[in-house]
Amino acid sequence: MCLRYHHPAMARRYDASEIEPKWVKVWEDEGLYQASEDPDDPRPRFYALDMFPYPSGDLHMGHMEAFSGGDVIARYRWMRGDDVLHPIGWDAFGLPAENAAIKRGARPMEWTYANIEQQAASFRRMGMSFDWTRRLNTCDPEYYRWTQWLFLRFFERGLAYRKESPVNWCPNDQTVLANEQVIQGACERCGSIVERRDLTQWFFRITDYAQRLLDDADTLEDWPERVLTMQRNWIGRSEGAEVTFTVDETGEEITIFTTRPDTLWGVTFFVFAVEHPAVQRLAELGGTWDDVRPLVERARQTSLVDREAAASKEGVALGVHAVNPVNGERVPCFVAPYVLMEYGTGAIMAVPAHDQRDFEFAREHGLPVRVVIEPPTGPVDPDAMTEALPHDGVMVNSGPFDGEPSPTSIAKVTAWLEAEGRGRAAVNFRLRDWLLSRQRYWGAPIPIVHCPRCGEVAVPDDQLPVELPKDADFRLGGESPLARHPTWKHVACPSCGGEAVRDTDTMDTFVDSSWYFFRYCSPGFEDGPFRPEDVARWMPVGQYTGGVEHAILHLLYSRFFTKVLHDMGMVPFVEPFPKLMNQGQVIYDGAAMSKSKGNIVEPMPLVERWGADSMRLTMLFAGPFEDDIDWKLIAGEPDRRPGVHAWLGRVFTAVQDAGERGDAPEPDALVRLTHKTVRDVTDDLDRYRFNVAISKLMVLTNEIRSTLDAGGGAAVAGRTLTQLLAPFAPFTSEELWREVLGEGASVHTSTWPTFDPSLTTENTVTMVIQVDGKVRDKVEVAADIDEAAALDIARASERATAAVGDRRVAKEIVRAPKLVNLVTAR
């Protein structure tokens, strides 16, 4: 029986370990994937960008998934005739290198480069179509020279500045963190509870770009909805008004921000954040400092956002009063942790009738509640209220605005405040400036010299890079490694030549990764971070692929950098990544892979055992690219042969046998299926539906195998299958293309197959005959029959007639040749 399929003398069995390493070398020798340097190259350009890896060890499953998807896209674009830029590099600075060095005694640099080489070797083994000539590492002085250069441009424009402020301090990593790196009050890296410290630190003025970051998000062509939502939430724009109250006892003006100026007449008290600079002075004046002081001191010791305290409704009266500018009322002032110094102005007007937090505070402290927005259900007794009232209603107890309905009340009150000079429309953002300095060793040094006479002085461009000392003592404790180095920081002031010291902080690694995609366009460029013409030629990126964990941090920062570079006239666009794709996570048995759970599956041993092609296909076929993959469910034990490996084996024999059979003189069913498959796989690839595309290739494989006896069309089907397979299984397809089909050049530089639309439809189709919408019969009909013929066939159907029974057919819906629905009278 098997002889039907096999020609024992000819058939070669599929053996990944025999074919894969061979092609790695051939492709590299042939320089297959190098992007053109020629500005006049007529081909369309496509920049396929993958989020560059952090070299923490060998590649893990997450890398496999992400880079497999990115590689399919790059290879597909090559075959479609594009000039493709598909680079690779390493995000090589960062804490883990330093921590590993502390633990094992190796230098951060050695640890980092060893890991990079291991990952590079694994990428090669995977057959990734990278342009290795453009490779970069952010920890190379050649690279961080330009990170520093960019910092100085930001510094010149006032976008990099130093200030003292309360900051997030990770006691474990011994460094400050950006707001974005604090998750639920804990360090994003190590999970330690973050402490609050008052320190002088460097910031990027990203808040200047808040509105543009928000507005331009709407112009992005194709980003996952959840990522856009996260960015919008993070930026956190709210519209409202600023209103200035006056402290009755001192006459000083205190401005507050509110989104509900229409509730100004309902203010019954006023609250300061614990950290507000006026608190101590006002408490001393009001004679309440002894009561207030414990709150203030506790806040200094706990984390920046003390959630527990904020959640409580504790608070202390200050003994002073605020005067409401809209009605001259005098209300008591409090200090309470539920008001945050970080948002708005650090002081609020309290309207207990219409704000739940104010309501709870009022009840706790026996303060009056005054309803100023009457709900549609009628008057409300403030004493009977159990929660704050919703927003809808009509203004009452509000002087000139009584009777004003809620949809227009905010705008009217705001306009009135401006006209009266008592307040103004205002917008508030949740976004804070980006704290970029770190008290650690393994990062790009901040290129600033502190001079007792000249202040903060930029290191001149021609003295960049400010290199890291190789002999640092980077162990934890005490001062940071650069600060404690005996000689490194001592330097002459570039301005006056006097004795000065370098800034001893390094930059957050997110600074490095905010511009690496520009550098890929001009590797080795000596006169700037990139050559503007190269960036204009390649960018914006055609497709950006990477993990959703960067939804806020990396993607927001990169967008910010791009806008600044745009304002500097260095890039012609404002968004670097119009199209973003997030791969799903690879989990195991319902849980994230982790050392502590002991459920980590190492990919490279599986690649050695079953092949890189099987590894890629297993992931890409498992489901939509953006969905999580549970490795236990789709692959099970490492010894279990992957289903896709068996399929590749069948492809291997099918293409061999098909080649033997030659082509039919007339296009037959197999040829038609081949054309249809080209159409469908092309469409699926354009929409990144890899799992569906692969299933279509499986169908074609099955069809080739089951029709081999019938002859005809097999050769073109086998050849086309080989090409369509190329983006997904680069090794297997190459082996078939060159060794079995005898083509001279690589399948990966072959032209993507086209299809003849007249051959993508069948001669006959299955027509469905329904009665009242239920399927009652199916009939094979000619694909080109008209409505009348379709109806005749439906009427002739015995099954349909039986289903109609003795009822009258009142209406016939005909969608020839697909469907006829006989509708009976009711």
Q: At what angle do helices 603-610 and 108-126 cross, to 10 degrees?
A: 30
Smallest distance from RNA to CB 312, Å:
5
Task: List the x/- string, 423-462, binding to RNA by CB under 7 A.
Answer: -----x-x--------------------------------
Residue list 268-297, contact with RNA (CB under 7 A): 273
Among 10, 11, 411, 633, binds RNA (CB under 7 A): 633
Among 32, 102, 310, 601, binds RNA (CB under 7 A): 310
Smallest distance from RNA to CB 179, Å:
9
Residue with Cβ nearer RNA (463 or 766): 766
Report if residue 813 touches RNA, rule: CB under 7 A: yes
Smallest distance from RNA to CB 657, Å:
12
Residue list 588-627, contact with RNA (CB under 7 A): 621-624, 627
Smallest distance from RNA to CB 698, Å:
4
Residue type, 502: R
Name the DSSP class of 445: B
455: left (phi over 0), alpha (psi -120 to 50) or beta: left
Residue with Cβ nearer RNA (2 or 384): 2
Taken as a whole, the chain contains a residue count of 826
Residue list 173-192, contact with RNA (CB under 7 A): 183-184
Alpha-carbon distance 714 to 723, whole Å?
A: 14
Report if residue 225 touches RNA, rule: CB under 7 A: yes
**Contact (CB, 8 A) for 265 and 376:** no
Report if residue 166 touches RNA, rule: CB under 7 A: no
Alpha-carbon distance 552 to 321, whole Å?
A: 41
Report if residue 409 touches RNA, rule: CB under 7 A: no
Alpha-carbon distance 172 to 193, whole Å?
A: 9
Q: Which two tokens stand for residue 358?
A: 């104010």
Instruction: Name the residue among 170, 171, 165, 166 with its Cα closest to residue 188.
Output: 170
Smallest distance from RNA to CB 593, Å:
14
Among 186, 214, 394, 698, binds RNA (CB under 7 A): 698
Report if residue 207 touches RNA, rule: CB under 7 A: no
**Contact (CB, 8 A) for 555 and 180:** no
Instruction: Name the residue among 330, 326, 333 with its Cα closest to residue 348.
Output: 333
Q: Which two tokens stand for residue 450?
A: 């502190």
Among 302, 691, 750, 764, binds RNA (CB under 7 A): 691
Residue with Cβ nearer RNA (348 or 472): 348
Smallest distance from RNA to CB 249, Å:
23
Report if residue 300 touches RNA, rule: CB under 7 A: no
Task: DSSP for 78-126, please give it.
Answer: HHTT-EEE---EE---SHHHHHHHHHH---HHHHHHHHHHHHHHHHHHH
Alpha-carbon distance 319 to 288, whole Å?
A: 6
Alpha-carbon distance 283 to 305, whole Å?
A: 23
Instruction: Name the residue among 116, 124, 48, 117 with its Cα closest to residue 79.
Output: 48
Kindly tell me the sign of the dihedral angle through the C-alpha atoms of 148, 153, 159, 160: positive
Alpha-carbon distance 715 to 658, whole Å?
A: 5
Smallest distance from RNA to CB 552, Å:
7
Residue with Cβ nearer RNA (531 or 795): 795
Per rule CB under 7 A, count of chain residues that contact RNA: 92
Smallest distance from RNA to CB 203, Å:
18
Among 17, 192, 229, 763, binds RNA (CB under 7 A): 229
Residue list 727-756, contact with RNA (CB under 7 A): none
Residue list 71-110, contact with RNA (CB under 7 A): none
Q: Look-up: residue for tokens 């329904």?
A: 770
Tell me the CB-side half-sphere exposure of residue 38, using CA atoms within 13 A. 8
Residue list 754-793, contact with RNA (CB under 7 A): 765-766, 768, 770, 772-776, 778
Smallest distance from RNA to CB 472, Å:
34
Cβ atoms < 10 Å from Cβ of 194 = 26
Among 64, 339, 468, 714, binds RNA (CB under 7 A): 339
Report if residue 240 touches RNA, rule: CB under 7 A: yes
Spatial CB neighbours of 557, under 8 Å, sequence gap ≥ 6 = 206, 434, 510, 511, 513, 514
Measured between alpha carbons, how far is residue 143 from residues 92, 137, 267, 516 in Å? 11, 7, 56, 9
Only one of the segments 223-231, 289-297, 491-499, 573-581 lies at the binding site for RNA (rule: CB under 7 A); that segment is: 223-231
Report if residue 404 touches RNA, rule: CB under 7 A: no
β-bridge partners, 592: 587
Only one of the segments 120-128, 488-496, 684-692, 718-726 lies at the binding site for RNA (rule: CB under 7 A); that segment is: 684-692
Report if residue 118 touches RNA, rule: CB under 7 A: no
Smallest distance from RNA to CB 306, Å:
9
Only one of the segments 112-120, 340-348, 398-406, 409-417 lies at the binding site for RNA (rule: CB under 7 A); that segment is: 340-348
Q: Which two tokens stand for residue 18?
A: 């025999």
Instruction: Name the residue among 271, 278, 302 with its Cα closest to residue 166.
Output: 302
Among 230, 380, 425, 536, binds RNA (CB under 7 A): 230
Q: Which two tokens stand for residue 544?
A: 């950006």
Among 186, 199, 385, 634, binds RNA (CB under 7 A): 634
Report if residue 408 touches RNA, rule: CB under 7 A: no
By CB neighbour count within 10 A (0-12 exposed, 13-18 middle, 19+ buried), where does 390 fall?
A: exposed
Run of H or E residues at 247: strand 238-247
Smallest distance from RNA to CB 395, Å:
16
Smallest distance from RNA to CB 365, Å:
13
Smallest distance from RNA to CB 206, Å:
15
Residue list 639-668, contact with RNA (CB under 7 A): 640-641, 643, 646-647, 649-650
Name the DSSP class of 768: E
Report if residue 801 touches RNA, rule: CB under 7 A: no
Residue with Cβ nearer RNA (476 or 692): 692
Smallest distance from RNA to CB 662, Å:
22
Alpha-carbon distance 607 to 67, whole Å?
A: 14
Task: DSSP for 175-215, please give it.
Answer: EEE-GGGEETTEETTT-PBPEEEEEEEEEE-GGGGHHHHHH
Among 246, 397, 702, 764, binds RNA (CB under 7 A): 702
Among 63, 260, 537, 559, binds RNA (CB under 7 A): 260
Run of H or E residues at 729: none
Among 356, 463, 749, 761, binds RNA (CB under 7 A): 356
Report if residue 298 touches RNA, rule: CB under 7 A: no
**Contact (CB, 8 A) for 723 and 750:** yes
Run of H or E residues at 591: strand 591-592
Among 36, 118, 255, 259, binds RNA (CB under 7 A): 259
Residue with Cβ nearer RNA (442 or 647): 647
Residue with Cβ nearer RNA (482 or 622): 622
Residue with Cβ nearer RNA (62 or 443): 62
Only one of the segments 234-242, 518-526, 569-577, 735-743 lies at the binding site for RNA (rule: CB under 7 A); that segment is: 234-242
Alpha-carbon distance 299 to 310, whole Å?
A: 10
Smallest distance from RNA to CB 446, Å:
27
